[in-house]
Structure formats: structure tokens, C-alpha cells
Amino acid sequence: MRIMIAGGGTGGHVYPGIAMYDALRRRVRNVEVLFVGARAGVESRIFDDLGLPSVLLPGRGVRGKGLLAKLISPLTLVAGLYHGVREVLSFKPDVVIGTGGYASVAVVAASIICNRKRVVQEQNSVPGMANRVLSRFANLVLLSYEESRKYIRRGVPTAVVGNPIRVKQKPNRSEAMTFFDLDPGVPVVLICGGSRGARSINEASVDAIKRLLERRHIQFIVLSGDLDYNTVRAGLDGYEERVRVYPFLQEMHHAYSAADLAVSRSGASAVFELAAFGVPTVFVPYPYAADNHQKKNVAELGASGAAVVIEDRSCTGEQLETIIETLLDDEEQRGNMRRKTSAWAKADADSLAAEKILDLAPYYRTCVMAGVSFGSGGIEEAAGSAGGRAHCTTGPAGGPGRN
């Protein structure tokens, strides 16, 4: 089975695709994948770090960019579409999955031209502009929030599965504390601003950490993003014994396992990952997010008491100091937050998404049900299949599962 997964710009557009790929691999033995991103996004490093087959398109998204970028955007989109069509024709995917961002637009549009099955996956409560347009031509739209349905054109197949997350390990505080070389007997606060960092959170956190460490025994893990890494490191110089600062971290399961409390932006990936690990969290929504979707992502959690939500303009060192201290001193409140957020979490979103994707490739669905897998030499019989014989002996013209 061949899957092309396109998206990027931020980790929030990349990791759901990786999670869905992993879930598909657990169901179909040989899944060939090609990830498509943009050269200007964070996905290049992510794909390289994880050893994933990928291509990177020239160009970048234009929403929120300057006038010059918007003037040349038609040329950028045409170039992206050209490259997208070339990659689709070359790879011949059975299903194309778009997870948002510039590369997703180019490749999903190319899949329409090339007549390939296409899935649009939306992480946030309010679908982005590109996904709203692309969803009109999708065979399936995967949603994270029930309230997102109202933004999708009536008649387009949708499924609310939650946001597939990359972090599937079970919480293990002991391993996490060893990984970070921290004291297991001392509380840990995780500060994360998303894959690209968050300046307002970084600045407030440096101030709050200094204030708190002058009089309290606390440990901190700070994920600053690349742009502010040197500034944050310099601002916390002398506090290395109880503070760990990283520009970026692949091993997020360790960070979530170690955290007694977190302060975070509220992009969908962060929200669903923190919820899956049951981490009591103070969310600071990015105020300039399209359609204010970060605030809407955590509206239900904030209203139910499962999380604390504060405005970005209120995120000062003094305010963070007060909130962190109050929550660390109130084990009962953190326990309630942990239970409520865990109940809200959709930890099986990747599996649900994979099942829906397989429904678009009925040949592979039949083979999975019959216990058949696809090896390098074609179809192989799986142990335990009925009578020891495979029932899926031929695929559609052009090979198994090809359109």
C-alpha cells in the first residue's frame, strides 16, 4: 500500500501524519510512504531525525506574510502544484493525506488532478483556510473536534477521531528523570511554546523561573524553539543544576512523563499530547493564530476546569510565578485537572484514523481482514489465514491497490 502524506510548516502539521503512518503500518505489513513538506518548514529536520523518506517542495505559505510574499504567492502556488503533480505521478500513491500547510495544498490539489483518493486531516477546532477549500474535494475529512463539522461542506464525508499524536509510550517518570538527569523527589515544570517556540512565554518563563528558584525547590524543562534558544540559555545562566533548556526535543514522552505541571501554547498537537499523558497544564493561546483557533482548542478544557487558560497579554513573569506556585501547592486541584484531561483525551485517534483511511482502499481492507500482507515479492500469506490460503490474489489494474 502506498501512502503520500503532505504537510508542514510547524510540528503540528507534521506529527499527526507520522502517527497515522505508524498506525497504518500496524495494520498493513508493507506500507510504502512518502512524506512531502516545504523547504522553509521545520519538517526537514523532523524527517531527517526520524529517517523518513521525504521530498521538500520550494516555497512556503503566505497567510500572515508581508505584501511581497502575497504578491508572488500565485507563482509560488503554481510552482508547488507543478512539483506536487510530478511527485504524485512518480510515487503513484493509493491514498494522499494532507495535514495542513503549504505542501498539503500543493499535493492534495495535485491528487485531484491525478485522480487519487485524498484525505484531509484537520488538527484544530477551526479548520484552516486551505483545509476548508481542499475539503470540498476530499474523499474523507478527519476532524479532531466535533464542532469542526460546521465548517465542512455538507455532503463531504467526515469522521471525528481526535488528533493523532506521535507519542504513544506510557508515562514512566523514573526513566524520564534519568533522561534529564533530574532529582525524582523534586517537582518538575515543563515550559513549551510549540515546535517554533513562543517568545512571550519564553520571556515570562525566564523571569518566573528566576523568581521561583530563589525561594523554592523546583526543576524546569524549557523547550524554547530555535530562535530564542541562545537568549533563554543566557537568561538562565547559573541555574543549570535545576533547569534544562532545549531548542527542540524529539523525546517528548520523557518531557510529559517528568512534568508535574506544564505551561504551553495550545496548538492541537500539544493539547492532545498533554491530555494523553494527563499533564495538568496552563495554556497560553497564541493570540494571532488564524481564526483564534488556539483559544478555541482549549475552550472546553478551560470551562470544565481540566486546564487553566490565560491570555497571552497576561503572561508575565509575575503572573506565571503566581500560577505555578499556586498549582504546585494544590495537589487536589492538579489531581482533578489530571483526571478530567485524561477523560477528555482521545489517545486512539491514530488507530481510528487508520481504519477510516483503509476504508478508502477496499482491496487492502479485504486483505487485512483475510490476514494477508504484502511482501517485496507481492502478496504473502499470513499465519493463521483461513485454510492457510490467501483470498486476495490479484489487485486492480496496475498492481495491488492502485487506482
Tell me whether residue 127 is in a domain: yes
For residues 116 and 146, membership in a common domain is answered with: yes
Tell me whether residue 354 is in a domain: no
- Tens of pLDDT, residue by residue over 115-137, are 999 999 999 999 988 889 999 99
Q: Determine the Cα–Cα distance for residues 173 and 389; give it in Å rounded to an integer.
A: 46
For residues 214 and 294, membership in a common domain is answered with: yes
For residues 113 and 148, membership in a common domain is answered with: yes
Which CATH number fits the domain that encloses residue 290? 3.40.50.2000
Instruction: Name, in order, each residue with C-beta under 8 angstroms of 71's C-beta and a sequence gap of 6 or more.
Output: none
Residue 74: name the closest of 105, 43, 100 by CA. Answer: 105
- What is the extent of the structural domain holding 95? 2-160
Tell me whether residue 97 is in a domain: yes
- Number of helices (H), then strands (E), in the chain: 17, 15
Tell me whether residue 294 is in a domain: yes
Residue 35: name the closest of 78, 69, 6, 77 by CA. Answer: 6
- Tens of pLDDT, residue by residue over 197-221, are 689 999 999 999 999 999 999 999 9
Amino acid at 396: P
Q: Determine the Cα–Cα distance for residues 59 and 345; give it in Å rounded to an integer.
A: 35
In order of 22, 123, 133, 247, 360, the CA distances from 141 in angstroms are 19, 11, 12, 33, 12
For residues 139 and 23, membership in a common domain is answered with: yes
For residues 188 and 334, membership in a common domain is answered with: yes
Instruction: Name, in order, each residue with C-beta under 8 angstroms of 234's C-beta and a sequence gap of 6 or more.
Output: none
For residues 229 and 134, membership in a common domain is answered with: no
* Residue 184 grid cell: 525524582
Q: Determine the Cα–Cα distance for residues 130 and 343; give it in Å rounded to an integer.
A: 31
The fraction of the chain above a pLDDT of 90, given in percent, is 72
Please say which residue of 138, 160, 182 terminates a domain.
Answer: 160
Residue 11: name the closest of 327, 160, 223, 213 by CA. Answer: 223
Domain count, the chain: 2
Tell me whether residue 150 is in a domain: yes
Tell me whether residue 168 is in a domain: no
Q: What is the mean pLDDT of residues 264-275?
A: 95
Q: What is the pTM of this model?
A: 0.85
Please say which residue of 139, 160, 181 terminates a domain.
Answer: 160
What is the pLDDT, as a whole number, of residue 365?
Answer: 64
Mapped onto helix, strand or coil, the DSSP state of residue 49 is helix
For residues 155 and 193, membership in a common domain is answered with: no
Confidence of residue 171 (pLDDT cuts 50, 70, 90): confident
For residues 47 and 193, membership in a common domain is answered with: no
For residues 248 and 326, membership in a common domain is answered with: yes
Mapped onto helix, strand or coil, the DSSP state of residue 384 is coil
For residues 211 and 278, membership in a common domain is answered with: yes
Q: What is the mean pLDDT of residues 54-78?
A: 62
Q: How does the average pLDDT of the chain come out, rounded?
A: 87
For residues 312 and 219, membership in a common domain is answered with: yes
Please say which residue of 113, 133, 160 terminates a domain.
Answer: 160
The residue ranking higher by pLDDT, 60 or 147, is: 147
Tell me whether residue 355 is in a domain: no
